[in-house]
Structure 1
Amino acid sequence: MVDVVDLGEFSGFQENPHPVYAQLRERGPVHRVRMPAPAQEQVAWLVVGHEEARAALADPRLAKDGNKLGITFLDEEQIGKYLLVTDPPQHTRLRKLVSRAFTMRRVEALRPRIQQITDELLDAMLPSGRADLVEAFSFPLPITVICELLGVPELDRAEFRKLSTESVAPTSFDSQEAATARLAEYLGELIEDKRCTGSGDDLLGDLIRTTSEDGDRLSAGELRGMAYLLLLAGHETTVNLITSGVHALLTHPDQLAGLRSDMSLLDSAVEEMLRYEGPVENGTFRFAAEALEIGGVRIEQGEEVMVGLTAGNRDPARHCDPDRFDIRRDPRGHLAFGHGLHFCLGAPLARAEARIALRSLLERAPDLALDGTPGPWLPGMLIRGMRALPVRW
């Protein structure tokens, strides 16, 4: 009989799960856990060791497509198939089609526009002397970039923020179901409008038009799923990367001073932010397509496995003194963007936005400081981030 660790019983787990993950790692790299609210009835295996997590992320025996085992998730039912719920060869096909439109060249071409949006947001924010950084800066930047990239109308963005956050960090199952259903409806209407009018010199328009050498194209459901993934992953992660990164700097004044004195450290600082408090706490569920062992623990066919990206990034076996925020460390090998076939397609865009945002903010607000207690941390175990970060300058 395997002991089940009830994560909801640990006081303060949502705000600071790192001590709990450290306790689990000391006992072993893999544990049977019960989720905290709002998914407290769900039990799964959790991988907390870095080496084991990296191996699990690349193990083909851990499937992402639950349909193979008779499991279908809510968003998949309402939205359609997308990269995070598929395995090869379907995943290979979808990623190839998306990669034809979402290229590195496209990301590089966005840099001047990212800088322009950043400057406009700071122009509006800085005269007030204080603000909620999430509301004024770290949310509107990535949501504007990804909406412009995909071709989502400006007037729809306020509603989209509310729906997307509820979809990935739900306060209840019912609210998640309602938000995901509305997102599916909205994206379906947007795609149909672009398809009918032939409009859209944007990524979504390109995805509608793109074909592979053999004439393969994305179906309506696949387009909807791809738009859903790109919109949510394209802004939720970057919002929290910028917010948590600024919070880490402001709570470690020696590191902030070091970065201000040498901005050539910016790239390594962003990587350390990703390692220290990355925006994705755990990978989405995987399913044992066959019985296997991870870290000496037997996992039976059909059982659910969650790979701890945050836990793995604080493993002392991989990173020396892992609870120390150090912008000069070599954080290579961190798992913030995953590993293997499902490595984040949008990692270059997230890095570009974070680097531009942080450099501009620090240069234009030289006495930036915390202005109160950060807002509550998002619920659930997928997205790691806070709802508000009050700052002054």
Structure 2
Amino acid sequence: MTNTPPLSGIDAPGFPVSRPDSCPFDPDESYARLRAEAPVAPVRCPAGMDAWLVSRYEDIRGVLTDPRLSSRGAGSMHMLPAYDGRDPLPGSMIQLDGEEHARLRRLLIGEFTGRRMEALRPYIQQIADEHIDAMLAGSSADLVRDFALPIPSLVIFEMLGVPYEDHEVFQRDSEVLMGFDADEAARDAASGRLEGYLAELIGQRLTEPRNDLLSRLIARGSRTERLLTVRELATLAVLLLVAGHETTASMIALSTLVLLEDPGRMAAFRAAPDAVGTAVDELLRYLSVIQFGLLRHATEDVTVGGTTVRAGEWLVAAVPSGNRDESVFPAPDAVDLGRQARTHLSFGFGAHQCIGRQLARIELEVALTTLLRRVPGLRPAGPLPRSEFKLNDIVFGLRSMPVVW
């Protein structure tokens, strides 16, 4: 192992959070320097802990696959000023390791196979067409509210068996949980409301099962040695609901904006409908909506990129930086819709790779191709102020996007 001083002995700079004024789609400009000069660098996180910021693609993949680097506190909890490293809730799959994580993933994985997701494509197409019909009844719309949010929301609500008429309540509490501005009490209250609602719904499914994901999870769990508790099911359902629509909704709106801002880019997208999957992966790489990376905790001493990380220290896998690593993606700050970018890190990597990645790809393919085919004159209603970009949320996105045609 290299002779690296422990984090406790380093005066760490602040976590890189800014985006250049010239292009809000680009991550913090310091990442390029870090990749070249200090690929594993100490940072002081908003949560108060110091961590090693890992900025190169290959090192990030290594961090996300190393079983010695725990997912306790995973996600972007390092950005929460009140985060104290608390133990994860039962059922919080993304924050569990080893068999605890694998047990939940095994119960879910059959719901997200490629075949099942492809079977949803006609339903997703129907949703997209219905919302475009509603938009075209007028002459303007908010692309976020009227198109980007409803598509993934309707799909995940339908899959789980959650009544869509309650989506506005879910959306309000989801926004609290995905942002970093609310205090701990507000976050706990939002989480409690969501879990309480879902626990009641799960109670109904225990006595009256239906043909939905929640009912199948209950049935599948009942056939295992360790039954799923109502709390585990509720926490897991919250995770699926929130993660199942926030990231994809953000990608639909941002991708549309990226395409609209460059006529050549738009023309290339429209000219190659058979290559839409390739274009979607390039947009996923370029936008990297999990904007502050993924947190990990060392359970023993490891070496990452030639740097000693000691047991008990934290690491942040800087996904946006890895997706702009010039050694893997030439000219990484450019959008190349023909680039073979499927190896991007936007869905994570390793045991915790996003279980819904195939669904997200299909939703993006259908939403973007349908929108740009049916509304050829689509354009922003005006310049978007920086305040409309979600710059202090777990997921980078847009609060609203007024459009006309």
Mapping 1:183-198, distance limit 5 Å: 183-196=194-207, 198=208
Q: How far does the alpha carbon of each residue in 1:297-322 deviate from its partner, in whole angstroms, 9 at most, with x for none?
A: 22221122121111100011110000
1:61 corresponds to: 68
Change (3 A) 1:298 1:188: same
CA distance in structure 1 between the partners assigned to 2:19 and 2:73 by the alignment:
32
Structure 2: which amino acid aligns with 1:178? Answer: A
Moved over 4 A (4+): 8-16, 71-75, 212-216
Match of 1:372 among 371, 376, 382: 382
Mapping 1:134-213, distance limit 5 Å: 134-174=144-184, 175-196=186-207, 198-211=208-221
SS at structure 2 position matched to 1:128: coil
Match of 1:27 among 37, 57, 61: 37
Change (3 A) 1:53 1:381: farther
CA distance in structure 1 between the partners assigned to 2:228 and 2:306 by the alignment:
41
SS at structure 1 position matched to 2:394: coil
Check the 8 A contact 2:112/2:358 in 1, yes or no: no
Change (3 A) 1:19 1:253: farther
Match of 2:234 among 221, 224, 235: 224
Match of 1:296 among 298, 306, 325: 306
CA distance in structure 2 between the partners assigned to 1:160 and 1:349 by the alignment:
20
Mapping 1:240-251, distance limit 5 Å: 240-251=250-261
* Superposition deviation, residue 103 in structure 1: 3.5
Mapping 1:1-393, distance limit 5 Å: 1-7=9-15, 10=18, 15=24, 16-35=26-45, 39=46, 41-65=48-72, 76-77=88-89, 80-174=90-184, 175-196=186-207, 198-211=208-221, 214-374=224-384, 375-380=387-392, 382-393=394-405
Check the 8 A contact 1:285/1:304 in 2, yes or no: yes
Check the 8 A contact 1:290/1:302 in 2, yes or no: yes
Question: Sequence identity of aligned pairs in percent?
Answer: 38
TM-score between both structures, scaled by the size of structure 2: 0.88
- Report the RMSD for the aligned CA atoms in angstroms: 2.4
Change (3 A) 1:323 1:12: closer
CA distance in structure 2 between the partners assigned to 1:28 and 1:332 by the alignment:
26
Structure 2: which amino acid aligns with 1:7? Answer: F
CA distance in structure 1 between the partners assigned to 2:156 and 2:256 by the alignment:
21
Change (3 A) 1:128 1:22: farther
Structure 1: which amino acid aligns with 2:120? Answer: L
Check the 8 A contact 2:47/2:84 in 1, yes or no: no
Structure 2: which amino acid aligns with 1:57? Answer: L
Q: How far does the alpha carbon of each residue in 1:195-247 deviate from its partner, in whole angstroms, 9 at most, with x for none?
A: 23x23211111111114865544222221121111111111111111112111
